[in-house]
């Protein structure tokens, strides 16, 4: 009991640290928008240069997200989150001390790397220890609060002391996060590494995941366009940085409130048609600034588009995410991939061993990773796909050796050593991390139930 309570306290501390980083990251991200017109005037930036400045962070995030996901399984999420916390104040310092476009771009690139690390690693860390969607919800709520605080703080400070003070002030306030993340201990630190080919295969085979990715791309494009144009238009209409910050904060309130209201929609009324209709409404909101660039029109555009984006984001999670169908789809995909990978390794290693097997079955046993029947039927756990490749290959070779040596006597171990030198390290990995693989539940990760 006391051990369980101790683990829960550590998990809550880790979630608090990650949520604090999400809050600070959102503050830093939103802080740029109110000062964007000021930066354009200060450094005589063209429209293209301003757009490049705004998109620099996004480009770095996209380029780094896949390598970050691969590194997470090798060096641990805690170290990556610590790197994200360390990069955040550095990126703000570079932006605050910038003397030209190059330094501004460098600062935004560093921020993009910090942002990419956070949102590649943090959702899984927040959802761990049985927290599921409840943990991820706290993370998103923290980011929403950051988008409410950031533009107001940045706008007011810029009006009073200048844009440099806004960046440097946020940098100083985020420095303690490095200490907080260094002290936090997360049980999800050794999460199994993801693989790019797995993600691509899942998107190709599971239409739900592909649809979610398409909607996410639409939301990203819409947000990027409005984030570039709105501050410049409002500044041209005479609003100060503080006024622009207040308008952006208003959209954060609308977004958060709309998302909360959408969670009350019964799941049976949410389907792909609703996603399509909401996307159409979001597209229609862009007709408002085409008709007029007045401050009132721009604010209306922001309010309606924020509501539509919130509905679309929330509905996508319901349609494509947290339900039994989605959880089953995830597990089915893992089973398919495991069968393909295990069959490939079994064919290759059986030829090398000079033995034959009858077939391969993929199951979900709790007590063993693989088995070999007297008739040569092989059976393996789909969870081996979550382990490093060499571990999966070791289990397959182990069971193939049983075709020639059925019992765990000395001849078996000599055969295994001859065809798989160093197998002891792979067996040790399974002993140390096997419980993590068994505890993984697609349904729990999607709908928040304790695994």
**Mean pLDDT across the stretch 301-318?**
75
Q: Tell me which residue has tokens 């919800």.
A: 137
Determine the structural domain holding residue 92 and report its residue range. 1-133+159-186
**Mean pLDDT across the stretch 180-189?**
62
Q: Is residue 258 part of a domain?
A: yes
Q: Is residue 140 part of a domain?
A: no
pLDDT at 370: 94
Q: Is residue 153 part of a domain?
A: no
Answer yes or no: do 3 and 112 share one domain: yes
Answer yes or no: do 179 and 88 share one domain: yes
pLDDT at 9: 38
380 secondary structure, DSSP code:
E
**pLDDT digits over 10-37, tens only?**
456 777 888 899 999 999 999 998 999 9
pLDDT at 78: 79
Answer yes or no: do 18 and 164 share one domain: yes
Answer yes or no: do 380 and 299 share one domain: no
Mean pLDDT of the chain: 80
Chain-centroid distance, C-alpha 51: 25
The DSSP string of 163-230 is HHHHHHHHHHHHTHHHHHHHH---TTTTPPPP-HHHHHHHHHH-HHHHHHHHHHHHHHHHHHHHHHHH
In the chain, how many domains are there? 3
pLDDT at 216: 66
Whether the per-residue pLDDT at 194 is higher than 50: the answer is no
Final residue belonging to a domain, choices 321, 356, 387: 321
**Mean pLDDT across the stretch 153-157?**
93
Stronger pLDDT, 98 or 286, i.e. the higher one:
98
- Assign residue 409 a region: left if phi > 0, alpha if psi is -120 to 50, beta otherwise? beta
Please give the structure tokens belonging to residue 59.
Answer: 């480009």
Work out the pLDDT band at 54, boundaries 50, 70, 90: confident
Stronger pLDDT, 322 or 261, i.e. the higher one:
261
CA dist., res. 65 & res. 70, Å (int): 9
**pLDDT digits over 334-378, tens only?**
888 889 899 999 999 999 999 999 999 999 888 889 999 988 899
**pLDDT digits over 58-106, tens only?**
888 878 877 776 676 667 777 888 999 999 999 999 999 999 999 999 9
Answer yes or no: do 126 and 3 share one domain: yes
pLDDT at 410: 92
Whether the per-residue pLDDT at 271 is higher than 80: the answer is no
Work out the pLDDT band at 326, boundaries 50, 70, 90: low
Q: Is residue 287 part of a domain?
A: yes
CATH number, domain with residue 413: 3.30.2010.10
Sheet holding 377-381, edge to edge: 359-363, 377-381, 370-372
Answer yes or no: do 306 and 423 share one domain: no
**Mean pLDDT across the stretch 417-436?**
91
**Mean pLDDT across the stretch 42-70?**
84
Final residue belonging to a domain, choices 272, 302, 321: 321
pLDDT at 62: 79
Burial of 360 (0-12, 13-18, 19+ CB in 10 A): buried
Answer yes or no: do 260 and 337 share one domain: no
**Global pTM exceeds 0.85:** no
Q: Is residue 177 part of a domain?
A: yes
The DSSP string of 36-86 is HHHHHHHTT--HHHHHHHHHHHHHHHHHHHHHHHHHHHHH-HHHHHHHHHH
CA dist., res. 244 & res. 286, Å (int): 19
Answer yes or no: do 286 and 178 share one domain: no
Strands of 225-376 (E only): list them.
Answer: 359-363, 370-372
Most confident of 249-258, 285-294, 419-428: 419-428
Answer yes or no: do 309 and 268 share one domain: yes
C-alpha distances out from residue 311 to 26, 265, 406, 416, Å:
20, 10, 58, 56
CA dist., res. 215 & res. 223, Å (int): 12
CATH number, domain with residue 21: 1.20.1250.20
Q: Is residue 82 part of a domain?
A: yes
Work out the pLDDT band at 320, boundaries 50, 70, 90: low
Answer yes or no: do 269 and 405 share one domain: no
Answer yes or no: do 21 and 167 share one domain: yes
**pLDDT digits over 107-149, tens only?**
999 999 999 898 888 876 775 544 555 566 677 778 888 888 9
Percent of the residues in the chain that have a pLDDT greater than 70, as a whole number: 74
Whether the per-residue pLDDT at 384 is higher than 90: the answer is yes
Contacts of residue 73, defined as CB under 8 A and 6 or more positions apart, other chains included, come to: 190, 191, 192, 193, 194, 388
C-alpha distances out from residue 21 to 28, 208, 209, Å:
10, 30, 27
pLDDT at 286: 83
**pLDDT digits over 232-245, tens only?**
888 889 988 888 98
Stronger pLDDT, 235 or 324, i.e. the higher one:
235
pLDDT at 204: 55
Final residue belonging to a domain, choices 321, 347, 362: 321
pLDDT at 322: 45
Work out the pLDDT band at 392, boundaries 50, 70, 90: very high
Q: Is residue 139 part of a domain?
A: no
Answer yes or no: do 178 and 58 share one domain: yes
Q: Is residue 112 part of a domain?
A: yes
**pLDDT digits over 434-445, tens only?**
888 888 776 554
CA dist., res. 373 & res. 369, Å (int): 14
Whether the per-residue pLDDT at 207 is higher than 60: the answer is no
């Amino acid at each position: 009991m006391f051990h369980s309570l101790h683990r829960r306290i550590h998990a809550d501390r880790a979630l608090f640290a990650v949520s604090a980083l999400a809050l600070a990251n959102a503050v830093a991200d939103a802080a740029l928008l109110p000062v964007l017109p000021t930066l354009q005037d200060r450094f005589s930036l063209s429209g293209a240069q301003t757009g490049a400045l705004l998109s620099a962070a996004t480009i770095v995030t996209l380029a780094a997200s896949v390598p970050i996901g691969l590194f997470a399984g090798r060096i641990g999420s805690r170290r990556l989150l610590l790197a994200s916390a360390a990069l955040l104040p550095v990126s703000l310092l570079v932006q605050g001390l910038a003397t030209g476009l190059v330094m501004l771009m460098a600062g935004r690139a560093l921020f993009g790397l910090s942002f990419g690390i956070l949102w590649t690693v943090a959702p899984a860390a927040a959802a761990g220890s049985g927290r599921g969607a409840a943990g991820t919800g706290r993370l998103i709520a923290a980011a929403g609060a950051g988008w409410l605080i950031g533009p107001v703080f940045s706008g007011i400070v810029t009006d009073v002391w200048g844009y440099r003070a806004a960046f440097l002030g946020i940098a100083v306030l985020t420095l303690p996060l490095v200490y907080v993340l260094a002290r936090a201990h997360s049980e999800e630190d050794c999460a199994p590494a993801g693989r790019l080919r797995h993600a691509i295969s899942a998107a190709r085979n599971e239409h739900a995941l592909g649809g979610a990715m398409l909607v996410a791309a639409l939301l990203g494009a819409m947000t990027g366009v409005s984030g570039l144009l709105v501050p410049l238009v409002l500044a041209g209409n005479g609003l100060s940085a503080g006024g622009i910050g207040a308008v952006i904060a208003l959209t954060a309130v609308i977004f958060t409130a709309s998302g909360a209201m959408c969670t009350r929609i019964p799941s049976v009324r949410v389907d792909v048609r609703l996603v399509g209709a909401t996307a159409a409404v979001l597209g229609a909101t862009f007709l408002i600034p085409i008709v007029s660039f007045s401050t009132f029109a721009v604010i209306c555009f922001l309010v309606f588009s924020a509501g539509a984006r919130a509905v679309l984001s929330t509905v996508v999670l319901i349609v494509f995410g947290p339900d039994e169908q989605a959880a089953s789809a995830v597990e089915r995909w893992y089973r398919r991939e495991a069968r393909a990978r295990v069959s490939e390794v079994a064919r290759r290693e059986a030829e090398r061993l000079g033995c034959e097997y009858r077939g391969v079955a993929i199951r979900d046993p709790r007590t063993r990773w693989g088995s070999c029947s007297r008739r040569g039927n092989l059976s393996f756990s789909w969870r081996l796909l979550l382990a490093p490749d060499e571990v999966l290959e070791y289990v397959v070779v182990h069971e193939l050796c049983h075709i020639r040596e059925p019992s765990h006597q000395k001849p078996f171990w000599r055969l295994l050593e001859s065809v798989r030198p160093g197998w002891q390290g792979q067996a040790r990995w399974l002993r140390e991390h096997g419980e993590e693989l068994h505890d993984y539940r697609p349904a729990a990760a999607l709908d928040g139930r304790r695994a």
